């Protein structure tokens, strides 16, 4: 165990697409656990699109990261010290904080993990926040019915892959949009979507071919040109599950959106959600999805980069669509693999 902590802090607010110089490495003493806290040694750090909002400095549903602060992030790791009876040294848990090797966090915020149940990394992906995002978005807004057509943006990503597979299980025709031929092949062949569309091609005609009955549910992770192509193809009573708009996160001024007249004519429902509002549904989500993952009926893919120092580059790659599957940073060897 090293004597010191290491973290990535926000050096400068990005202007448009982040660059490595917006981040800096800082070293410091190992954190001390307060009463009721545990210190987690990180094994996996999750990189997710929402982090772009946190470092922008814009007040939103969450407090922005201040300059000099460690970047927000969710970590799976191993307890190295505990001042709470519920956790012991050596326990695996999800809920560590930030782009850093060690964090001291309230034990009540940690989710103990049993490596025999599922790989511990899945607590950051298919069985964690991204998987639950897909589940909640479909449960509360998308509500796909058998025979309906569901289009999922960023379909090979951590959220999209789960959303599409769950919609498929609900009996819908599911069409994924992804970037590049390899991801499209994965979506159609491995994840079992009915069709996959490369957003680098001519999206409109491709959507027309893949969705001959129009679109009833759009799971929005992307915004931009994908949203523009999908919107006019929505059917009457269609639902837009507004989950993310990663293609616009680096915009310095907002693009115009669709004219809302169609919302009336077609009785559309466009609704946003934030998964953390639904913490009380975590048990329901796990109960529904964990058995599918264990049985191999719900597939997932991880894209793991090595070492905390790689986090900024990997995060920039995520914003550019360069990752392929749930993006994780390995902070230390995973003793359970």
Residues in contact with its own copies, counted by CB under 8 A, come to a total of 35
Secondary structure letter of residue 249 according to DSSP: T
**Three-state secondary structure string covering 17-32:** CCCHHHEEEEEEECCC
Site for its own copies in 270-289 (CB under 8 A): 270-274, 277
Does residue 225 contact residue 199 with C-beta atoms inside 8 Å?
yes
Shortest spacing between CB 268 and its own copies, in angstroms: 6
From candidates 21, 189, 208, 236, binder to its own copies by CB under 8 A: 236
Phi then psi for residue 100, to 5 deg, are: -160, 165
Closer CB to its own copies, 259 or 280, in the complex: 259
Per-residue binding string, its own copies, 244-273, x by CB under 8 A, is: xx--x-----xxxxxxxxxxxxxxxxxxxx
Per-residue binding string, its own copies, 169-208, x by CB under 8 A, is: ----------------------------------------
Shortest spacing between CB 260 and its own copies, in angstroms: 5
- Name the one range near its own copies by CB under 8 A: 95-103, 113-121, 169-177, 243-251: 243-251
From candidates 191, 222, 243, 298, binder to its own copies by CB under 8 A: 243
Site for its own copies in 201-230 (CB under 8 A): 220, 223, 227
Closer CB to its own copies, 103 or 278, in the complex: 278
Cα–Cα separations (whole angstroms), residue 255 to 15, 22, 56, 58: 16, 24, 17, 17
Phi then psi for residue 49, to 5 deg, are: -55, -30
Closer CB to its own copies, 30 or 282, in the complex: 282
Does residue 80 contact residue 5 with C-beta atoms inside 8 Å?
no
Secondary structure letter of residue 276 according to DSSP: G
Shortest spacing between CB 215 and its own copies, in angstroms: 16
**Three-state secondary structure string covering 80-145:** EEECCCCCCCCCEEEEEECCECEEEEEHHHCEEECCCCCCHHHHHCCCCHHHHHHHHHHHHHHCCC
User: Of 209, 274, 200, 212, which is closest to residue 241 (Cα–Cα)?
Assistant: 274
Buried b (16+ CB within 10 A) or exposed e, 236-249: eebbbbbbbbbbeb
Site for its own copies in 13-72 (CB under 8 A): 53, 60-61
Closer CB to its own copies, 220 or 302, in the complex: 220
Shortest spacing between CB 317 and its own copies, in angstroms: 22
Shortest spacing between CB 125 and its own copies, in angstroms: 20
Closer CB to its own copies, 16 or 254, in the complex: 254
Closer CB to its own copies, 118 or 263, in the complex: 263
Does residue 92 contact residue 22 with C-beta atoms inside 8 Å?
no
Does residue 78 contact residue 103 with C-beta atoms inside 8 Å?
no
Shortest spacing between CB 252 and its own copies, in angstroms: 13
User: Of 173, 226, 172, which is closest to residue 199 (Cα–Cα)?
Assistant: 226
Closer CB to its own copies, 210 or 245, in the complex: 245
Closer CB to its own copies, 205 or 232, in the complex: 232
Closer CB to its own copies, 70 or 242, in the complex: 242
Shortest spacing between CB 333 and its own copies, in angstroms: 36
- Residue written as token pair 């025709």: 173
Does residue 59 contact residue 46 with C-beta atoms inside 8 Å?
no
**Interface positions with its own copies (CB under 8 A):** 53, 60-61, 220, 223, 227, 236, 240, 242-245, 248, 254-274, 277
């Amino acid at each position: 165990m090293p004597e010191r902590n290491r973290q990535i802090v926000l050096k400068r607010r990005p202007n448009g697409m982040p660059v490595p110089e917006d981040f800096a490495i800082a070293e410091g003493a190992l954190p001390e656990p307060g009463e009721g806290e545990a210190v987690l040694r990180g094994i996996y750090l999750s990189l997710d699109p929402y982090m772009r909002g946190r470092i922008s400095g814009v007040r939103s549903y969450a407090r922005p990261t201040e300059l000099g602060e460690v970047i927000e992030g969710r970590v799976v790791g191993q307890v190295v010290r505990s001042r709470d009876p519920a956790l012991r040294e050596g326990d695996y848990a999800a809920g560590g904080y930030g782009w850093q090797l060690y964090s001291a966090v309230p034990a009540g915020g940690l989710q103990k993990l049993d490596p025999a149940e599922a790989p511990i990394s899945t607590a950051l992906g298919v069985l964690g926040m991204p998987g639950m995002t897909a589940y909640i978005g479909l449960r509360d807004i998308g509500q796909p019915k058998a025979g309906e057509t569901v289009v999922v943006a960023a379909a090979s990503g951590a959220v999209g892959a789960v959303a599409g597979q769950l919609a498929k299980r609900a009996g819908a025709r599911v069409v994924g949009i992804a970037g590049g031929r390899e991801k499209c092949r994965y979506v159609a062949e491995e994840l079992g979507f009915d069709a996959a569309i490369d957003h680098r091609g001519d999206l409109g005609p491709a959507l027309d071919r893949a969705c001959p009955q129009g679109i009833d549910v759009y799971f929005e992770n992307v915004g931009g040109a994908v949203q523009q192509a999908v919107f006019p193809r929505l059917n009457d009573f269609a639902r837009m599950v507004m989950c993310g708009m990663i293609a616009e996160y680096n915009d310095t001024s907002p693009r115009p959106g669709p004219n809302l007249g169609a919302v009336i004519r077609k009785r559309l429902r466009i609704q946003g959600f934030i998964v953390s509002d639904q913490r009380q549904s975590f048990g329901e989500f796990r109960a529904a999805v964990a058995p599918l993952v264990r049985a191999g009926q719900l597939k997932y893919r991880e894209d793991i980069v090595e070492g905390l120092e790689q986090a900024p580059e990997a995060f920039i790659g995520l914003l550019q669509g360069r990752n392929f599957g749930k993006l994780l940073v390995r902070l230390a060897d995973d003793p359970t693999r």
